[in-house]
């Protein structure tokens, strides 16, 4: 016999069956003992829609476009995320901030259009790492099923986080814990 | 004139009993399918059906409803009459076998009339069951033949040869019991056990042989070759769909129920309560009937559970192993058991 790959290998026993084995009955009873013991074991199943398993701290889910504390969008449409993206899932169009829009956008330039194709995205998180403005990060939810391919192209309105002052609760929920982990100093 | 004087009460009583037993058979068969899925799940560390109603108890209704609404396909090349007769035959034979089983202690009315809880207490009781079970093979054979599909036909032949082979040791194991009771009447078999103790104590080997054969007769694992879904192309009901398929599957569960009832009656003392003398309790006849019925039902449920338990423990035999076990192991064993019983009975009676 060659070298064993694991310590769980067992040599095959090819000795002829003993009388007890040849009538099967004893071995069947032994097997039934094993199965009945499973009757009392804890079930591994999670009742999915009612009960959900929490994700790990570093789980990378759907993207969120972040706002600052006053509710202004962080994104400046620099395009670094699109460059970093190995799956080429991100497209954007930049626009200049007009006077009177200071409460909407944090800096002079913003993303007028921002799309992520969730079918292309591999949820690697490189966009998050590339972003110099803390504008994009991956949240703790995953992309829900959809009827058409079109539905998987997420527009800016699908991605931007709820307003932290007007919709505080929804903002906290969307924010999750991951933004803290990823915070750059 | 005697033949013309119809006892209306007698007719009503029997009609109620027949209706009750058929209803009970359907109910138990329905919930055996549910239990099958639940037990399978529990033995595999899963939860089983739990969406339809609390704990999924409406699952069998959902399954049945689904079967009714499925498209009915009758193959063009099949023999239509036989194609429909097959599942009907399987169902009828499954239901008829329950006629001779005594379900509970006889109910005595206030007027002193004794109402036996048995549809027909015929003298050849257990033989009748055997006869009906043998006719059950026709359900399989006709279904397989009428489908006009070679795989169905081969599966039907496989099933028929299996059932015929296992009826032999089954009958021989039963003969040893009949030596002891001295009667084929089911009520007699039970009353002898009430007096002398259960047959399983005197005939452990006979009981094991009978149990194994019952598994084979019901096409249960490890002998479910006639309907081996994955490796033998599904079996004799391959061409069947909708409720006709439902009838075949349902008849199998009713067969399980009836064979569990017969095993409980012949080997576990029927409706007898173990270790106690219930006659000395002085309960009213209604309660005696009720208690003895529930005792029989709990024995049946135990057997049904063991059937399921075995199914989810062991894989199925190969066909040559199946035939080897039947002809080379069980028949000699049953013969030896029979001869020893006969010798002992002869010696005791001297």
Cβ distance B43 to A35 less than 8 Å, yes or no, reads: yes
CA atoms within 13 A on the CB side of B288: 18
| B315, closest residue in chain A (CA to CA) | A28
The answer to whether A31 faces chain B, any CB pair under 8 Å, is yes
Stretches where chain A sits below pLDDT 70 are: 1-3, 177-185
Question: Which residue in B43, B44, B49 has the most chain A C-beta atoms within 10 A of its own C-beta, making it the best mutation to test that interface?
Answer: B43
CA–CA gap between residue B140 and residue B226 (Å, rounded): 9
Judging contacts by C-beta atoms under 8 Å, the chain A residues touching residue B46 are 43-45
In chain A, how many domains are there? 1
CA–CA gap between residue B209 and residue B154 (Å, rounded): 27
Judging contacts by C-beta atoms under 8 Å, the chain B residues touching residue A36 are 43, 309
Query: Please, are residues B153 and B147 in contact by the beta-carbon 8 Å criterion?
Result: yes
The answer to whether A34 faces chain B, any CB pair under 8 Å, is yes
CA–CA gap between residue A60 and residue A97 (Å, rounded): 31
- Scan residues 273-312 of B and list those with Cβ closer than 8 Å to A: 309-310, 312
pTM, entire model: 0.82
CA–CA gap between residue B52 and residue B126 (Å, rounded): 40
Closest CA to B319 of B85, B131, B170, B160: B160
**For chain B, where are the E strands, in sequence order?**
104-108, 114-117
Query: Please, are residues B259 and B211 in contact by the beta-carbon 8 Å criterion?
Result: no
- pLDDT reported for residue A185: 47
The shortest CB-CB distance from A45 to any of B46, B309, B314 is to: B46
Give B95 to chain A, closest Cα distance, Å.
Answer: 30
Closest CA to B274 of B201, B206, B198, B199: B198
Query: Please, are residues B67 and B248 in contact by the beta-carbon 8 Å criterion?
Result: no
- pLDDT reported for residue A130: 92
Cβ distance B43 to A44 less than 8 Å, yes or no, reads: no
Alpha-carbon dihedral B269, B304, B325, B208, rounded to 10 degrees: -20
Cβ contacts of residue B234 below 8 Å, gap of 6+?
A: B151, B155, B227, B228
Query: Please, are residues B252 and B95 in contact by the beta-carbon 8 Å criterion?
Result: no
CA–CA gap between residue B13 and residue B115 (Å, rounded): 8
- Give residue limits of the domains in chain B: 70-349
Alpha-carbon dihedral B267, B270, B275, B280, rounded to 10 degrees: -150
Helix (H, G, I), strand (E, B) or coil at B335: helix
Compute the residue count for chain A: 185
For A72, the enclosing helix (H) or strand (E) is none
| A35, closest residue in chain B (CA to CA) | B43
Query: Please, are residues A109 and A96 in contact by the beta-carbon 8 Å criterion?
Result: yes
What ipTM does the predicted assembly reach? 0.80
Residue A56 domain-assigned?
no
CA–CA gap between residue A165 and residue A150 (Å, rounded): 32
- pLDDT reported for residue B4: 64
- The CATH number given to whatever domain includes residue A156 is 3.30.70.3270
DSSP state of B325: I
Give B177 to chain A, closest Cα distance, Å.
Answer: 22
Cβ distance A43 to B45 less than 8 Å, yes or no, reads: yes
The answer to whether A51 faces chain B, any CB pair under 8 Å, is no
Query: Please, are residues B126 and B181 in contact by the beta-carbon 8 Å criterion?
Result: no
The tens-digit pLDDT sequence of chain B (350 residues) is 566 667 788 888 889 999 999 999 999 999 999 999 999 999 999 888 988 888 889 999 998 899 889 998 888 888 889 999 999 999 999 999 888 899 988 888 777 778 888 888 888 888 998 888 888 888 889 988 998 888 888 888 888 899 889 999 999 999 999 988 888 988 888 888 888 888 888 889 999 999 999 999 888 888 888 777 776 677 788 888 888 889 988 999 999 999 999 999 999 988 888 877 777 777 788 888 888 899 999 999 999 999 999 999 988 888 888 898 889 989 999 999 999 999 999 998 87
| Full residue range of the structural domain in which residue A165 is found | 63-181
Give B52 to chain A, closest Cα distance, Å.
Answer: 14
* DSSP count for chain B of H helices, then E strands: 12, 2
């Amino acid at each position: 016999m060659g070298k064993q790959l694991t310590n769980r290998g067992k040599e095959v026993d090819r000795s002829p069956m003993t009388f007890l084995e040849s009538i099967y009955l004893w071995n069947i009873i032994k097997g039934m003992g094993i199965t009945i013991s499973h009757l009392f074991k804890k079930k591994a199943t999670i009742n999915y829609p009612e009960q959900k398993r929490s994700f790990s701290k570093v789980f990378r889910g759907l993207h969120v476009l972040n706002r600052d504390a006053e509710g202004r969008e962080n994104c400046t449409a620099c395009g670094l995320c699109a460059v970093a993206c190995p799956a080429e899932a991100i497209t954007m169009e930049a626009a200049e901030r007009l006077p009177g829009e200071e409460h909407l956008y944090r800096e002079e330039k913003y993303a007028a259009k921002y799309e992520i194709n969730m079918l292309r995205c591999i949820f690697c998180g490189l966009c998050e790492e590339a972003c110099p403005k803390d504008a994009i990060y991956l949240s703790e939810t995953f992309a829900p099923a959809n009827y058409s391919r079109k539905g998987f192209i997420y527009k800016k309105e699908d991605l931007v986080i709820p307003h932290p002052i007007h919709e505080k609760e929804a903002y906290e929920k969307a924010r999750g814990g991951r933004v803290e982990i990823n915070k750059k100093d | 004139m005697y033949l013309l004087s119809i006892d209306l009460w007698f007719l009503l009583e029997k009609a109620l009993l027949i209706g009750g037993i058929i209803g009970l058979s359907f109910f138990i068969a329905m919930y055996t399918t549910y239990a099958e899925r639940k037990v399978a799940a529990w033995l595999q560390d899963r939860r089983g059906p739990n969406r339809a109603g609390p704990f999924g108890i409406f699952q069998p209704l959902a399954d049945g409803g689904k079967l009714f609404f499925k498209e009915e396909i009758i193959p063009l090349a099949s023999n239509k009459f036989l194609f429909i007769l097959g599942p009907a035959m399987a169902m009828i034979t499954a239901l008829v076998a329950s006629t001779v089983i005594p379900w509970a202690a006889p109910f005595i009315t206030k007027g002193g009339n004794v109402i036996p809880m048995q549809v027909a207490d015929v003298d050849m009781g257990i033989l009748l069951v055997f006869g009906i079970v043998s006719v059950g093979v026709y359900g399989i054979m006709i279904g397989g033949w009428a489908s006009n599909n070679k795989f169905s036909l081969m599966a039907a032949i496989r099933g028929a040869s299996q059932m015929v082979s296992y009826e032999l040791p089954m009958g021989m194991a039963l003969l040893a019991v009949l030596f002891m009771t001295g009667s084929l009447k089911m009520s007699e078999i039970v009353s002898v056990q009430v007096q002398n103790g259960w047959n399983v104590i005197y005939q452990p080997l006979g009981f094991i042989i009978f149990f194994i054969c019952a598994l084979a007769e019901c096409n249960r694992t490890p002998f479910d070759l006639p309907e081996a879904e994955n490796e033998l192309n599904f079996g004799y009901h391959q061409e069947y769909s909708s409720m006709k398929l439902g009838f075949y599957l349902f008849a199998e569960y009713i067969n399980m129920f009836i064979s569990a009832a017969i095993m409980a009656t012949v080997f576990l003392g029927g409706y007898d309560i173990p270790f106690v003398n219930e006659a000395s309790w002085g309960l009213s006849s209604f309660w005696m009937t009720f208690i003895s019925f529930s005792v029989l039902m709990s024995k049946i449920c135990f057997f049904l559970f063991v059937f399921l338990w075995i199914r989810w423990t062991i894989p199925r035999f190969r066909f040559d192993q199946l035939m080897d076990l039947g002809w080379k192991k069980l028949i000699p064993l049953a013969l030896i058991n029979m001869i020893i019983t006969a010798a002992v009975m002869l010696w005791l009676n001297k």
